[in-house]
Structure 1
Amino acid sequence: MRWTLKPKPEQQEIDALAKALQVEDLVAQLLLQRGIGNYEEAKRFFRPQLSHLHDPYLMKDMDKAVNRIEKAIANEENILVYGDYDVDGTTAVALMSSYLQQYYSNVATYIPDRYKEGYGVSYQGIDFAEDNGFSLIIALDCGVKAIDKVEYAKKKGIDFIICDHHRPGGTLPDAVAILDPKRADCNYPYDELCGCGVGFKLIQALGTKKGETVEDLIPYLDLVATAIGADIVPITGENRVLAYWGLQLINENPRAGFKAIIDQINKKVLTITDVVFIIAPRINAAGRMEHGQHAVNLLRETDTERALFFASEIEQFNTDRKNLDQLIANEALLQIQENKEENGFTSVVYKETWHKGVIGIVASRLIETYYRPTLVFTKSGDKLAASARSVKGFDVYEALESCSETIEQFGGHMYAAGLTLLEENYEAFKSKFEEVVAKTIDPKLLSPEIMIDALIGLDDISPKLMRIIKQFAPFGPGNSTPVFMAENMRDTGYAKVVGQDGKHLKCKFFDKNSGNNRTAIDAIGFNLGNKLSTLQNNTISAAFTLDENEWQGKISLQLKLKDIK
Structure 2
Amino acid sequence: MRWTLKPKPETAKIQHLQEVLQVDEIVATLLLQRGIETFEEAKNFFRPSIEQIHDPFLMKDMDVAVARIDKAIENGENIMVYGDYDVDGTTSVALVSSYLKTIYPQIATYIPDRYEEGYGLSFQGIDYASDNDISLIITLDCGIKAIDKVAYATEKGIDIVICDHHRPGNELPKAVAVLDPKRDDCAYPYDELCGCGVGFKLIQALASKRGKTVTDLFPYLDLVATAIAADIVPLTGENRTLAYFGMKVINKSPRAGIKAIISQLKKKEFTITDVVFVVAPRINAAGRISQGLHAVELLTENNLEVAKQYAASIEKYNSERRTLDQEITKEAFQQIEKLEEQERFTTVVYDENWHKGVIGIVASRLIETYYRPTLVFTKSGDKLAASARSVKGFDVYNALEQCKEHITQFGGHKYAAGLTLKEENYQAFKDAFEEVVKNTIDKNLLTPEILIDKEITLKEITPKFYRILKQFAPFGPQNMSPIFMSTQLKDTGFAKCVGAEKDHLKLCAVQRKSPRINGIGFNLGDKLSKVQDKKTFDAVYSIDENTWEGKTTLQLRLRDIR
TM-score by length of 2: 0.96
| Secondary structure of residue in 2 paired with 1:562 | strand
| Secondary structure of residue in 1 paired with 2:161 | strand
Residue of structure 2 aligned with 1:547, choices 538, 544, 547: 544
| Secondary structure of residue in 1 paired with 2:501 | helix
Q: CA deviation at 1:426?
A: 3.6
1:54-83 per-residue CA deviation (whole Å, 9 max, x = no partner) reads: 111111222211121111111111111111
1:332 and 1:198 mapped to 2: Cα distance?
A: 36
**Residue 538 of structure 1 pairs with residue 535 of structure 2:** yes
| Secondary structure of residue in 2 paired with 1:173 | coil
Q: CA deviation at 1:151?
A: 1.9
| Secondary structure of residue in 1 paired with 2:493 | coil
2:335 and 2:107 mapped to 1: Cα distance?
A: 49
Structure 1 residues 147 and 404, CA, compared in 2 at 3 Å: closer, same or farther?
closer
2:382 and 2:61 mapped to 1: Cα distance?
A: 41
Structure 1 residues 95 and 404, CA, compared in 2 at 3 Å: closer, same or farther?
closer
1:60 and 1:430 mapped to 2: Cα distance?
A: 39
Map of 1:300 onto structure 2 = 300
Q: CA deviation at 1:423?
A: 3.4
| Secondary structure of residue in 1 paired with 2:254 | coil
Matches within 5 A, 1:127-526: 127-340=127-340, 344-404=344-404, 406-511=406-511, 514=512, 517-526=513-522
1:151 and 1:434 mapped to 2: Cα distance?
A: 35
| Secondary structure of residue in 2 paired with 1:501 | coil
Select between 34-43 and 164-173 the one with higher mean Cα deviation.
Answer: 164-173
Gaps of 5+ in 1: none
CA contact (8 A) 1:235 1:479 kept: yes
Structure 1 residues 334 and 178, CA, compared in 2 at 3 Å: closer, same or farther?
same
**Residue 557 of structure 1 pairs with residue 554 of structure 2:** yes
Map of 1:116 onto structure 2 = 116
Map of 1:99 onto structure 2 = 99
Q: Which amino acid aligns with 2:259?
A: K
1:169-216 per-residue CA deviation (whole Å, 9 max, x = no partner) reads: 222222222221112222111111111111111111111111112121
1:291 and 1:5 mapped to 2: Cα distance?
A: 45
Select between 183-192 and 264-273 the one with higher mean Cα deviation.
Answer: 264-273
Map of 1:80 onto structure 2 = 80
1:3 and 1:132 mapped to 2: Cα distance?
A: 58
CA contact (8 A) 1:546 1:560 kept: yes
Structure 1 residues 143 and 398, CA, compared in 2 at 3 Å: closer, same or farther?
closer
Q: CA deviation at 1:425?
A: 4.2
1:263 and 1:342 mapped to 2: Cα distance?
A: 50
Q: CA deviation at 1:478?
A: 1.5
| Secondary structure of residue in 2 paired with 1:500 | coil
Q: CA deviation at 1:430?
A: 3.6
1:470 and 1:235 mapped to 2: Cα distance?
A: 15
1:204-257 per-residue CA deviation (whole Å, 9 max, x = no partner) reads: 111111111212111101001101111111111111111011111111111110
Structure 1 residues 447 and 127, CA, compared in 2 at 3 Å: closer, same or farther?
same
Q: CA deviation at 1:311?
A: 0.8
CA contact (8 A) 1:388 1:418 kept: yes
CA contact (8 A) 2:166 2:412 kept: no
Select between 334-343 and 411-420 the one with higher mean Cα deviation.
Answer: 334-343
| Secondary structure of residue in 2 paired with 1:135 | strand
Structure 1 residues 500 and 467, CA, compared in 2 at 3 Å: closer, same or farther?
same
| Secondary structure of residue in 1 paired with 2:54 | coil
Map of 1:17 onto structure 2 = 17
Gaps of 5+ in 2: none
CA contact (8 A) 1:342 1:370 kept: no
Q: Which amino acid aligns with 1:561?
A: L
2:197 and 2:400 mapped to 1: Cα distance?
A: 30
Q: Which amino acid aligns with 2:548?
A: W
**Residue 60 of structure 1 pairs with residue 60 of structure 2:** yes
Select between 467-476 and 142-151 the one with higher mean Cα deviation.
Answer: 142-151
TM-score by length of 1: 0.96
Q: CA deviation at 1:432?
A: 4.4
